[in-house]
Structure 1
Amino acid sequence: MATTAAAEMTFSRQPHPAPTPANDRAAVLADPGFGKVFSDHMVSIDWDEGRGWHSATVGPRGPILLDPACAVLHYAQEIFEGLKAYKVAGEGIALFRPEANARRFNTSAGRLAMPEMPEDIFVQAVTELVMADREWFPPVDGGSLYLRPFMFASEAFLGVRPAKQYKFLVIASPAGNYFKSGAPAVSIWLSSDYTRAAPGGTGAAKCGGNYAASLVPQAEAIARGHDQVVFLDAAERKWIEELGGMNLFFVMADGSLITPPLTGTILPGITRDSLLALARAEGLTVREERYAFDQWRADAASGALLETFACGTAAVVT
């Protein structure tokens, strides 16, 4: 679906009738973990065929009323994003590349036959929430305010077609370490029974179904004492693709970096893109090419591979 013309929206602001007391907020911010606690407010914007984007509000975070026939509950027409805001010197607040998230959000929307959102309105929406909940930044090392914009089909209709009504929301969660251990290294398990995505599918879209499909292999990895699962390609079951929610990089002994290419089955990570740009700016050789699991094992054994790391908005570089 085509995007509406770029324009600034007017947001109505509804004060929270009972915001979290300062002492209670300080207690949870001392050790927020990841995705466990949420700030007081949320952003909501509606879309329908006749009016486009409308009814933008910043108000108290709370339950959403849905009809049992709501299309997202039956056909999973839903997408989301993840980005972070950080406290900077003085009283400043910075968002990390929100325009890139806005572009990826629209790419995902196009793949799932959903309406695009003008990039400036997307950025305005997350900025509105950050300003409303600017007291929710955790004072821990590496702490940030994790922002979760998402959109779902809200029309009550059981026919199989793109919905005619959608709801866009943004919620925020103070974030500490993604992994419970907080360790500089994590253990991963290779899934030989499951794949994350297939050619022609939705692997490059940030939609909930991709993550739901990764939960069984992720649970198997954890049951075996590992932190994450790594997936192979669906066609040959030999090429490394990505973890359940992170891109992979391989640091070679010759000073180069290898990362799997974006072939439609891998999410185009914004942290991945940022690291590629930084590496090239530093004069490093970067190779976006397929890397086989057998080659990974051989290079690790021979010393040709020095290190492997994963990256993503939530886990940063691990």
Structure 2
Amino acid sequence: MIIAEVVRSGFVESTHHGVVAVDGGPSIGDVDTPFFPRSSNKPLQTVGLLNAGLMPREEADLALISGSHDGEGFHVERVRAMLAAVDLGPEALRCPADLPLGETPRYDWLRGGGAAEPILMNCSGKHAGMLATCVLNGWPLDTYLDIDHPLQKALADAVSRLSGEPIAALGVDGCGAPIFAISPIGLARAFRRLVEAEPGSPERRVADAMRARPELVAGTGTEDTVLMNAVPGLLVKKGADGVAAAAMAGVGAVALKISDGASRARVPVLLAALRRLGLEVPAMPELVLGGGLPVGEVRAVG
């Protein structure tokens, strides 16, 4: 079994059990019980936007719509341009005001006297894509986050179709948008379908855009960006509460949920799962700090 253990000064401090689902291969833990994949759902929702008629200004916009951006300048300006392309401004966004997700962009923004704004929220790219789709269809804008809105019905249909299972439960994500519960194996299955779809299909367009511009999916130096840059052809999308999904055509797909929601266990378990698929992945140590100095690490064992 793959678990992540925290080793501090040579002693095991605690363990975080992982639930790992591998589409078409051996799985570990309870991979059939539905859960909320959080932002790992975003690429599936972007497929739903394309099916509903979204026409991005350029393919790179699909990467940002599918991402959880760090709030760097190039992220924010692209969101602004996406909105302007359909004659909207940042005031149309219904995601909550927030500071940049990335540590450096956040500090830079605060040092410059900035305050929280909806466009800085890490999901603003997804919300811009939702709004653009509504404009193109003539759908109401003020209620685009309502579960009975035609936009959200289209996104639920896409998640269900790609995962190969019905939506088990509905919730509200941190950005205010509906979130759809599926199983870990369903999430892995969906990611595999993205990378193995026919070129030019909505699924493949999303996967290709994310892999071509991984810095738009996350940010400079973040785990999704580093992994997609290091392993050509790999699709990766993390989610809150210890969630991640990844896939490569001809190799397979993996989805994971750290059962206690610890984010620091996510990368070690993801790397271990990708190695089980036979991929060579970079070393990305998850250090444990004490007094500002490394005193241990989170590592996968099993």
Instruction: Please state which band the TM-score falls in when normalised by the shorter chain.
Output: under 0.3
Greater fraction of residues in strand: 1
Q: Relative contact order (C-alpha < 8 Å, sep 6+): which is higher?
A: 2
Please identify which structure carries the higher helix content: 2
| TM-score, normalization by structure 2 | 0.25
Bigger Rg, structure 1 or 2 = 1
